[in-house]
Structure 1
Amino acid sequence: MRRRQVSPGVLGASPWLFGALLLAGWFAVARWGGLPAYVLPSPDAVLARLVADLTNPTLWPYLAATVAEAVGGCVIGAAVALPLGIAIHRSRLLDAAVSPFLGATQAIPAIALAPLLVLWVGYGLGPVMWLCSLLVFFPILVSTVTGLKLVPASVVDAARLDGAGSLALLASIELPMALPNLLAGLRNGFTLSVTGAVMGEMIMGGRGLGQLLTAQRDALDTTGMFATIALLVALAMGLYGLIRAIELRSAVMADLTTPR
Structure 2
Amino acid sequence: MSRPRSRGLLAPLVLGAVLLVAWQLTVSFSGLPGFVLPGPGEVLARLAGMLSGSTVWPYVGLTLAEAVGGCALGAAVALPLAVLVHRSSWANAAITPFLGATQAIPAIALAPLLVLWVGYGFTAIVTLCSLMVFFPILISSVVGLVHVPQEVVDAARIDGAGGWDLLRHVEAPLALPNVLAGIRNGFTLSITGAVVGEMVMGGQGLGTLLTLQRDAVDTAGMFAVIGMLCAIAATAYVLLQVVERRSTIVADVRDTPRG
Aligned ranges for residues 162-181 of structure 1 at < 5 Å?
Answer: 162-181=159-178
Q: What is the match of residue 154 of structure 2?
A: 157
TM-score by length of 1: 0.96
Displacement of 1:171:
0.6
Give the TM-score, by structure 2 length. Answer: 0.96
Q: Does 1:107 align with 2:104?
A: yes
Task: Indicate the residue corresponding to 2:13 in structure 1.
Answer: 16
Q: Distance in 2 between matches of 1:15 and 1:257?
A: 33
Query: 1:196, 1:11 → 2: CA distance?
Result: 29
Counterpart of 1:19 in structure 2: which amino acid?
A: G
Which residue pairs with 1:190 in the alignment? 187
Q: Distance in 2 between matches of 1:228 and 1:108?
A: 27
Moved over 2 A (4+): 9-12
Q: Partner residue of 1:3?
A: none
Question: Are residue 77 (structure 1) and residue 77 (structure 2) matched?
Answer: no
Q: Of 249, 255, 259, which residue of structure 1 is paired with 2:256?
A: 259
- Correspondent of 1:32 among 19, 29, 33: 29
Aligned to 2:126: 129
- Whichever residue aligns with residue 120 of structure 1, its letter is W
Structure 1: which 5+ residue stretches go unaligned? 1-5
In the alignment, structure 1 residue 207 sits paired with structure 2 residue 211 = no
Q: Give unpaired runs (5+ residues) of structure 2.
A: none
1:84-128 CA distances to partner (integer Å, 9 max, x unpaired)?
001110000110011101111001111100000001111001100
Q: Secondary structure at the match of 1:122?
A: coil
Does the residue aligned with 1:157 lie in a helix, a strand or coil? Answer: helix
Among 208, 212, 215, the alignment partner of 1:218 is: 215
* Residue 226 (structure 2) aligns with: 229
Match of 1:65, as an amino acid? L
Instruction: Count matched residues.
Output: 255
Query: Residues of 1 paired with 2:53 and 2:17: CA distance?
Result: 28
* Structure 1: distance between partners of 2:221 and 2:108: 24
Aligned to 2:56: 59
Q: What do residues 211-239 of structure 1 show as CA deviations (whole Å, max 9, x unaligned)?
A: 00000001110000000000000011111
User: Aligned partners of 2:157 and 2:24: how far apart in 1?
Assistant: 62
| CA-to-aligned-CA distance 1:19-63 (integer Å, 9 cap, x gap) | 111111001111222111111111111010001001121111111
Q: Which residue of 2 aligns with 1:143?
A: 140
Question: 1: CA distance between counterparts of 2:228 and 2:20?
Answer: 16
Aligned counterparts of 1:12 and 1:198: Cα–Cα separation in 2: 29
The residue aligned with 1:92 is 89
| Paired residue type of 2:94 | A
- TM-superposed deviation, 1:11: 4.3
Amino acid at match of 2:232: L
Task: Measure, in 2, the Cα distance between the counterparts of 1:16 and 1:59.
Answer: 26
